[in-house]
Chain A
Amino acid sequence: MTAEPLRAENLRKIYTVKGAPPVEALSGVSMAVHPGERVALLGRNGAGKTTFLRIASTLLRPTSGTIEVFGYDVDAVPERARPYIAVVPQEGKPFFHLCPREQIYTYLRARGLSRETAKSRTEESLVRMGLTEVADRLAITLSGGQRQRTMVATVIATQAPLLFLDEPTIGMDPFARREVWASLRDLTTKGSTILLTTHYLDEAEALSHRLYIVERGRVIVTGTADELKRSVGGTLKVVLPGAAGRASEFASFGETVPDGGTLTVIVAPERLGELMDLAVRSHLTATVGPVTLEEAFLRVVGRKIDEE
């Protein structure tokens, strides 16, 4: 059987809250994650990312819709799906009275791995996540980022077929984040599949094959980071200081964003020459750079907010 690692169809979740109106956290989310993919789930605070991840990882029941992990209905037979998955929960913490080495090893043993496998995976994971120096110190003495590394190291060491990571790199320094990225890339080359959430858009870009943007419980965009950037009119941006008042002259090139006195124009590479000519003729200085995923995200989600 070649079932998708994850497939969701029209998933809805309504939280009932005592003494307050119910909260519709997911309003019909459909998505699929293919074998060996790294997929990022993006969206503003409260968009529904954690809700989706918790339902997918058998920790929360959906209100309606279907969701399957490797072909197993997560709602009907969660215990069939569980052996395939591992989760880094949002705001999870290692046991304060365990050392990272103990935490990872005992966790792997609790998942049923043999002593030898658990031991070698533990050591490998400690090295990978830069935890060797603190491996035998109680987690209570570790820094916030070191604790988060321990959480990620614990879950990565499982090499589970499907990993859910909810803001796995929160509080990590740029080096540690890159270690996580490298480890996750490694895992997918070994056959695992990954769904993660992050508010670091550079991370989503560096790491994911595809992304979904969720806004108010709905998927509003899906595709690659490049596709998302092109959807806002181009992959390059031209920054024109002092040109904020002249947006109309540049409007034909793509989206224009005045910010203070500066005008930013998002442009497709093939029209860059033309735009630069106009800038020179208008005696403007121009800086060209790539559109970042963060800028594309702000535009796309911003548009959606304006519409509503």
Chain B
Amino acid sequence: MRSEIATTRAFGGTAAFLWTEVLVQAHEELAMATAMVTQVVLLVFVYILAPSLIGVALVGSVVFSTFTLGQRVLNEAAYIRIDHKATDLYLAGPMTAEGYFLGMAVGILVVYLPPVAILGALTVLVAHLSVATALLLFGLSGVVWLFAASIGYIFSTFFRDNRAIWAYASLFFNVFGVLPPVFYPFGYFPAYLRPVALLMPPSAAAALVQSRLGATVLSTGETWLAVVGLAVETTGLFVFAAYWARRTVRGA
């Protein structure tokens, strides 16, 4: 019997678990709407208080949307592990832990893509984005998503109780997504804190798009810091999340 079975290749099971997660999440229509509440509220504020900044705010809302998907990954990963024992069921078997993580993350992205796409379309129209700028926005939003999904999954492994998560998750994602210059121009941020903002993926992505739009002036050094920061942090965190997913299949 032993000889029949091969070991699983890396990321094995990703597609199947992606589909599982799409089916699971698609039953939560209301959650799709609530995923947009913060962004829409902030957009209304900006529209009333500073209508000239609506383009910048729209760009921020797209970046913020993919960033907060990390919070969905955090909640989902913790919930199905703790309440459903899904990791026991799925990972004590041939499916890989990194496939489970990535499948879940992409599944959540797929389901929440329609509302993000609506904001994206609105942004392109209202802010008059060129094709190149639009592609830059969507590409960077994708990078931000991968970063956030990785952090969400890693965080999920530290909780033993879902109730504890409610307190921390929204705090983290709001502080890093709303406080730094994501919804407002990068130039409004205190000068000495700019490098910090450029090292945070949501504000780095927003700043790069703002700079292309002419809404912000970034020095060459600042542009590089944002680009390299995004690339290194996201790659590093994703690789670590895949490793961490494997590592945490087994409790100590």
Contact = CB atoms under 8 A, between A and B. Distances in A.
Contacts of A268: none
Interface string A1-26: 10100000000000010000000000
Given A89-B88, A94-B84, A138 B27 contact: yes
Interface string B99-126: 1100100000000000000000000000
Interface stretch (A54-62, A210-218, A223-231, A273-281): A54-62
A78 B249 CA distance: 10
Given A97-B26, A161-B1, 10 more contacts: A1-B3, A16-B252, A58-B249, A79-B7, A79-B246, A86-B93, A87-B92, A102-B23, A151-B89, A155-B89
A235 interface: no
24 contacts: A58-B92, A59-B92, A70-B2, A71-B2, A79-B8, A83-B5, A83-B6, A83-B7, A87-B88, A87-B92, A92-B88, A93-B84, A94-B84, A95-B20, A95-B86, A97-B28, A102-B23, A106-B16, A106-B20, A106-B23, A109-B19, A110-B17, A110-B20, A161-B5
Nearest to A74: B250
Interface string A89-110: 1111111011000100011011
Contacts of A91: 85
A1 B2 contact: yes
B179 interface: no
Given A87-B93, A109-B19, A82 B8 contact: yes
Interface in B65-111: 80, 83-95, 99-100, 103
A1 B12 CA distance: 26
A184 to B, nearest CB: 17
B24 interface: yes
A291 interface: no
A154 interface: yes
B198 to A, nearest CB: 38
B1 to A, nearest CB: 5
Contact of B92 (A70, A71, A86, A107): A86
A164 interface: yes
A138 B20 CA distance: 13
Contacts of B214: none
A127 B7 CA distance: 31
